[in-house]
Amino acid sequence: MNSPGPATLIRRGIAAEWTRTTGRSFLWTAAVPLTFVLPLIVTFGIAAVAERLATVPGQSYVAAVSTTNSVYWVITLSVSVMMVTAAYAHATQWRGQTSDLNAFLFPRSWTVALARWIYYGTIAAISTVVLLVVVMVTLPHQFPQIYGDVDITDSAGIRFLWTVPTYAFAACGVGVAAGSLIRTPSAAVAVLLFWVYVAENSLNLLPHGFTLQSYAPFLNAVAATGQQVAFLPRFGRNGSLLYFLLVAATLFITAAVLPSLIRRLSGNRRMALAKSGTTPPAR
């Protein structure tokens, strides 16, 4: 009997991940709540303090915030939470009996990796869209002194609405790639957090650091969203977003797809040699 095709296996993988995470799973009890709660607490906490200072006599130095600087914490925190969740979820598939079950259900292991990217990436994209709308609509109404200029319908607001979800979706692919390459969940999470929050921000301390930093994928992605940052996108805003998408795809193919295809080709070669009655040369 013929084995299921890749499309069937991907659909099966998405359904399996939905089933696995339904109920009181880490995804819905911790990851998704943190995705919403962390940026909202920080954003509105800072907004409340800034608004209070703006109403104190003699505190006119408190500057108003534009749309381009209104959703920084959504971009910084929400995307990272979902990315490391995808990494953790994918890395756990090699632990204990889960490894054998995955090998049986998904003979093409790259299909389950792609299924997880789609599953967690979709959740991340939807979550960030909801957060962006909540933040950009609420800030100017609740904190008009500082955030009165924030407008979800201006060019910066509209750009956020499509670039941030795109960035979030692609970042989950980086997470799955890390989970494929580093098969210890905690280590995969640690590497990603170090990369995003330490390594890329410290590159400018190295010789020719600013040149190296201009190729930092996550810094390029954040700048590409339209967020107001000191970092200048290496390839322009749209080009830097495309650069991050290419980095995510390359990492995913290298870590999750190529090893699976190589193992499959090697297995087919051994089967062909066995049927022909020959043996591969010793190495």
pLDDT recorded at residue 161: 97
**Domain carrying residue 92:** 6-276
Q: Do the domain assignments include residue 1?
A: no
Cα separation of 262 and 60, whole Å? 64
Q: Do the domain assignments include residue 116?
A: yes
Q: Do the domain assignments include residue 25?
A: yes
> What are all long-range contacts of 245-248, with beta carbons under 8 Å and residues at least 24 apart?
245/166, 245/170, 247/174, 247/217, 248/170, 248/171, 248/173, 248/174, 248/177, 248/217
Q: Do the domain assignments include residue 283?
A: no
> What pLDDT, in 10s, does the model give residues 154-167?
999 999 999 999 99
- In a 3-state reduction of DSSP, which class is residue 2? coil
Low-confidence ranges of the chain (pLDDT < 50): 1, 99-101, 104, 283
Count of domains observed in the chain = 1
Cα separation of 210 and 40, whole Å? 32
What proportions of the chain, in percent to the nearest 5, are helix, strand and coil? 80, 0, 20
pLDDT recorded at residue 154: 94
pLDDT recorded at residue 48: 93
pLDDT recorded at residue 257: 85
> DSSP secondary structure string, 84-133?
HHHHHHHHGGGSTHHHHHHHHH-SSHHHHHHHHHHHHHHHHHHHHHHHHH
Cα separation of 271 and 283, whole Å? 18
Q: Do the domain assignments include residue 78?
A: yes
Q: Do the domain assignments include residue 268?
A: yes
Cα separation of 124 and 81, whole Å? 9
Q: Do the domain assignments include residue 281?
A: no
Whether residue 220 contacts residue 233, with contact meaning beta carbons closer than 8 Å, is answered with yes
pLDDT recorded at residue 1: 44
Q: Do the domain assignments include residue 159?
A: yes
For helices 236-252 and 155-181, give the axis angle rounded to 10 degrees. 20
Q: What sign does the dihedral 259-264-266-267 (CA atoms) show?
A: positive
